[in-house]
Structure 1
Amino acid sequence: MGIGYARVSLEDHQDLTPQLETLRAAGCEKIFEEERSGANADHPVLAKAIASLKEGDVLVVWKLDRLSRSLRDLLFTLEVINTAGAGFLSLTNAIDTTTSIGRLTMQIVEAFAEFEREMIRERTKHGLENARRAGVVVGRKPKLKPARKAEIVRMIEDGGETSSTAASLFDVSKTTVKRVLQAYRAEQQNKAA
């Protein structure tokens, strides 16, 4: 059974009619309609449409961008559809996973997406390594400068103050104070060894 899904964005004042007519002409027996921005990750009507799929059904959309705005989300959604034993058909983009050529096309798209993710990982790793070699501190700026860390250690170790007091005084979390103390104690142990 053909299950249609049509979506328009409310902000752009789009009309569902062309999509609905195309889906009906394609033989969809049931059509789910949603008025929601594609940028919004939450699409409850799409989730209902996918949940309604039974083995042998085909989820039909007018165009791929009605289903997802990113390749990653598209592949995830197609995997969920495939797991349900259903197929997928995009009328405008001529992608039909109920055919062998359609499945091949999606496998090629998945391979390119995996390749792209791996390239991004490699570039990120290479960029971080270069930045570290150049002396750039990667990550968030430390909340506390060394002098303030030393003051926290003195307050707690020598002055008998609590972690809560130090955290409140220096406007940091108790977890930050705990990390400062752990680093200090580890350094002391290394010096003693």
Structure 2
Amino acid sequence: MPLIGYARVSTEDQTPLPQSQALKSAGCAEIHEEHASGGNRARPVLARVLERISKGDTLVVVRIDRLARSLSHLLEVIERLEAKGAFFRSIEDPIDTASPQGKFTLQVLGAAAEFERALIRERTKAGLRSARADGRIGGNPGLKARDAGAIRKVRAARVESHFQKLNASAEQWVPEVRRLRPDMPWEDVLRVVNSGLPKESQPWTEARLIRATKTFVKEGLLPEAILGRAVRASKDDRLPAIIAAIKGADPEITLQAICDRLENMRERTPRGRTKWQPSSVKMLLQRAQGLGLLTQSP
């Protein structure tokens, strides 16, 4: 089980060396260091680690506060790891999600977080009721006065909130965008991304997917070349490219599962039919391999 270490210090004057040494002693062969505030969730190094971590890996930190400064952020990160089949361990805290005791601790933390959210909601409602009873109207006085500092803070909070939402869904779209762009047009990338989403997830639109990609490029999490203009594939090469993209995302996917994905994407067969057969997919995979679009044997 690969152990991946994450070390963080708040300022450039501090050194992550003691953390890195402790992580190495704990068995981490791969260690990522970052200089960033714990209150800032938009951390490029952490985002890259969470994007690339694989099933069976364990993210290891020396202490919980090196990963997150709030319970909500900690649980958010652990949920992302669990969605990938990965685990989390803190050396100095009783949390190891690969063990029954660690899972129990996590359940307790989750219950505490929900209780905390309920208290905050109730306090907020009580404050609004009190303000209305006193004839006061809620809102940000600085915004009402058009204070430049207040406006900057609100904008920064909105940017941070937007990035966190994108970061939470990164595993749904970043790997596909990284692999397929700019070789494939956005409309086809979009269809590949949406075809792999869980049924309960909101489908992406092309405009939203491009905006999300631009945000990650700006943060240095994706290369700028991804935004380049795609050379549209010929009609005969388009289907092999799409099928190769699906196969590349999951090398173990079955021919029938690819048929299901294509039907979900409403792609028609080379003969214009709506129902796909495994034999047709196998033929197109062989063509994709001949075009150099697929490195593995179909």
TM-score scaled to structure 2, two decimals?
0.45
Distance 2:137 2:18 in 1: 53
- Residue deviations 1:110-147 (CA, integer Å, cap 9, x gap): 1111111111101111221122123222335797xxxx
Q: Match of 2:129, SS? A: helix
Measured at CA, do residues 130 and 36 of structure 1 come closer, stay the same or move farther in structure 2, by a change above 3 Å?
closer
Counting aligned pairs with the same residue, the percent is: 48
Distance 2:50 2:139 in 1: 40
Distance 1:121 1:88 in 2: 29
The corresponding residue for 1:130 is: 130
1:108 Cα deviation after fit: 0.8
Q: Match of 2:34, SS? A: strand
Work out whether 1:10 is the aligned partner of 2:11: yes
- Residue deviations 1:70-123 (CA, integer Å, cap 9, x gap): 111111111111111100000011311111110111111011111111111011
Distance 1:93 1:6 in 2: 15
Structure 1 runs of 4+ with >4 Å offset? 140-143
- Residue deviations 1:23-81 (CA, integer Å, cap 9, x gap): 11111121111122223322111111112211111000011111111111111111111
- In the alignment of these two chains, the number of paired residues is 142
TM-score scaled to structure 1, two decimals?
0.68
The corresponding residue for 1:96 is: 96
Amino acid in structure 2 at the alignment position of 1:46: L
Q: Match of 2:8, SS? A: strand
Structure with greater Cα Rg = 1
Work out whether 1:76 is the aligned partner of 2:76: yes
Work out whether 1:86 is the aligned partner of 2:86: yes
Q: Match of 2:75, SS? A: helix
Distance 1:117 1:39 in 2: 18
Distance 2:140 2:60 in 1: 45
Instruction: Map residues 60-71 of structure 1 onto 2, 5 A cutoff.
Output: 60-71=60-71
Distance 2:118 2:94 in 1: 28
Contact 2:94 2:105 in 1 (8 A): no
Instruction: Map residues 17-28 of structure 1 onto 2, 5 A cutoff.
Output: 17-28=17-28
Distance 1:138 1:20 in 2: 47
Distance 2:113 2:89 in 1: 20
Q: Match of 1:50, SS? A: helix
Q: Match of 2:48, SS? A: helix
Amino acid in structure 2 at the alignment position of 1:96: D
The corresponding residue for 1:32 is: 32
**CA-atom RMSD, angstroms?**
1.8
Q: Match of 1:4, SS? A: strand
- Residue deviations 1:140-164 (CA, integer Å, cap 9, x gap): 5797xxxxxxxxxxxxxxxxxxxxx
1:17 Cα deviation after fit: 1.4
Amino acid in structure 2 at the alignment position of 1:58: T
Instruction: Map residues 47-62 of structure 1 onto 2, 5 A cutoff.
Output: 47-62=47-62
Q: Match of 1:69, SS? A: coil
Q: Match of 1:49, SS? A: helix
Distance 2:9 2:136 in 1: 45
The corresponding residue for 1:147 is: none
Higher strand share: 1
Q: Match of 2:65, SS? A: helix
